[in-house]
A and B are shown apart, each in its own frame.
Chain A
């Protein structure tokens, strides 16, 4: 993992000290809320429906065991004993007192963390494939470049007041686990015909009220040119992005209005001007950063472990968990473990302080002290020996973290919704809980197969409903909650936006509607088809007919 140098640490410490002074001035009345607002937002402090909320950056979703322990300490000491992992691989604390926030920032700084650039019209926390460095289909480790981008974008003076917020995602694998095409910039590591490393560069993706799939504007960008090219994109956006209309201010609107080709040409022009003056990325700097992400000291292990196979044969619960919560590790004898944060009765992404500590302990003992956060609001233990999976599963089970549902119907992405969020129009969490309860039968979930149900409580789409196979969007109808359904969305390498299937459903009717959709899929599917495959083959019509009882056009 990357470790702070003196520069990083000083920056974070100084910011925490500065914010302590700002909070004191706010509490004394010297600063009004209007004056304090931009200052608190620069430190990830939002004012939500019931209380302040601190959003903590987890760079490219990578946490050490010690950092996870610190998050548990914060949750227990200054919040209400839990935290909420988000679709941006961050964590949010929902109930801090304003007076305690400086202490929270100090506690974060002590473990090389902060809440800077988790709000505001700047380059936000860079996200990445949660399987970075361990996926067996990986070309190169995206964390190296995510860290370089983090350093370049942190307090970047030119890009601290962009027309709107700006999100960058990076992956090193052809299989997209980082939702690249719905980010302002998506970067996919690849090699050219000579084997040189570089990036496919996608721009203009995003969700929110105007969802768009990002367009590739460069199929291969040499790695040495990463920062100058990013700088060129940001410059064009900063100059031409709409500052007059909040809803048209994202880069996707600019790319769409100019046309991707024109936008790309403007970026190339700008880029050529930056060739000599832009931020260089020499090979020795890449090498320096790469050294932080070298693989841990793996053992040479057999690909098959008899005791693991035996337990899998004998213990149905363990076998079920292995079926959904393990992914192939690039190293023989190891597995990637997904830890589901979607138990029945729970809130997607929520985790108790004790559970954070349990995960930290397991990471320390069995996964080289490393933890990842996924954009699907789950956690990952990235390097677990096959021979130790039994022990990890038992440890997770003791903490109530053994839910065997990753990628299935109950592995629901949901934003905090109207229960917590000031922007939301409708609740997300109880809708997720009702659907999880409805589909709790594991045999049925396995029969249904891979299904992504994503729920957002408003059009801002923090719950990624546009890219859910089944997307659910909460809307307000005269003060009451209704839910619009979209079908056919996907955030993977075949990215697509869901299409609205028809009129919205009431809070009490939405679970039944999801059930109807699943039943229609099961009736329509061909051998081996996932929900998304079936939808793409048959289209929306059968679902409309079953949902609304009439054939709609």
Chain B
């Protein structure tokens, strides 16, 4: 699952509905602890507003092990 596959909504109640709809996936262990995050629409799709969610979406910003961060 990638950020580009996400649904974006504008109202809190809609966000709650989205989370409620994950129940089956949570029960089947496909998803753990779902939550809604704030995004903005950018030229290339949705972009998380907070640095935390940007890092969560793209991975660490520093090299680790043999991995290098995405440019």
Contacts and interface: CB of A to CB of B under 8 A. Distances in A.
A479 B33 contact: no
A424 B61 CA distance: 14
B33 A33 contact: yes
A94 B67 CA distance: 13
A29 B51 contact: no
Given A352-B66, A419-B55, 11 more contacts: A47-B32, A50-B60, A79-B65, A80-B65, A80-B66, A80-B67, A82-B65, A82-B66, A418-B52, A425-B52, A476-B52
A26 interface: yes
A418 B62 contact: no
Report, as a range, how many residues of chain B touch the other chain: 20 to 34
A347 interface: yes
Interface of B is mostly: loop
A33 B64 contact: no
A352 B29 contact: no
B64 A82 contact: yes
A426 B60 contact: no
Interface stretch (A325-333, A427-435, A443-451, A494-502): A427-435
Nearest to A428: B62
A47 B56 CA distance: 13
Contact of B62 (A49, A425, A430, A479): A430
A427 B61 contact: yes
Contacts of A79: 65
Interface of A: 26-27, 29, 32-33, 47, 49-50, 79-82, 94, 345, 347, 350, 352, 418-420, 424-427, 429-430, 433, 476, 479-481
A29 B66 CA distance: 33
6 contacts: A47-B32, A50-B59, A80-B67, A476-B52, A479-B50, A480-B51
A430 B51 contact: no
A356 to B, nearest CB: 12
A347 B64 contact: yes
A32 to B, nearest CB: 8
A418 B55 contact: yes
Interface of B: 26-29, 32-33, 49-52, 55-56, 59-67
A82 B62 CA distance: 14
Contacts of A476: 50-52
- The 4 closest A-B CB pairs, nearest first, are A479-B50, A419-B60, A80-B65, A82-B65
Given A80-B65, A81-B66, A433-B62, A49 B27 contact: no
Contact of A418 (B32, B51, B67): B51
A50 B61 CA distance: 12
A29 to B, nearest CB: 5
A79 B65 CA distance: 9
Given A26-B29, A419-B60, A479-B49, A49 B55 contact: yes
Contacts of B52: 49, 418, 424-425, 476, 479
B56 A50 contact: yes
Contacts of A29: 27-29
Given A50-B56, A479-B50, A481-B51, A33 B62 contact: no
Q: Which of B32, B56, B60 has the most CB of A within 10 A?
A: B60
Nearest to B48: A479
A354 to B, nearest CB: 10
Which of B26, B51, B67 is the most central at the interface, judged by chain A CB atoms within 10 Å of its CB?
B51
A437 to B, nearest CB: 13
